[in-house]
Amino acid sequence: MKLIAKGIRLMEGIHAKSMKLTGSAVMMLFLAVFLGSVSFYLAERDVQSIEFWDCIILILVGISTV
């Protein structure tokens, strides 16, 4: 019984760490999309006459294809 309880505690610890890592990964993805779209918008807004939402779509397509 003690071995089963230790296994359950170990799995709970692994699950908690996994959730923290998933949250960090989602935050990094959001920052990459936001910063990429802002930098692309600032670089190309006058040349190609594109809007900010178009930049977000382009960055999402670029990240999803990678």
What pLDDT, on a 0 to 100 scale, did the predictor assign at position 9?
82
How many domains, in total, are found in the chain? 1
Contact 58, 37 (CB under 8 A): yes
Q: Which domain holds residue 60?
A: 2-65
The CA dihedral of 11, 17, 19, 20, to the nearest 10 degrees, is 170
Ranges of residues in the chain whose predicted pLDDT is under 70: 66
What pLDDT, on a 0 to 100 scale, did the predictor assign at position 49?
75
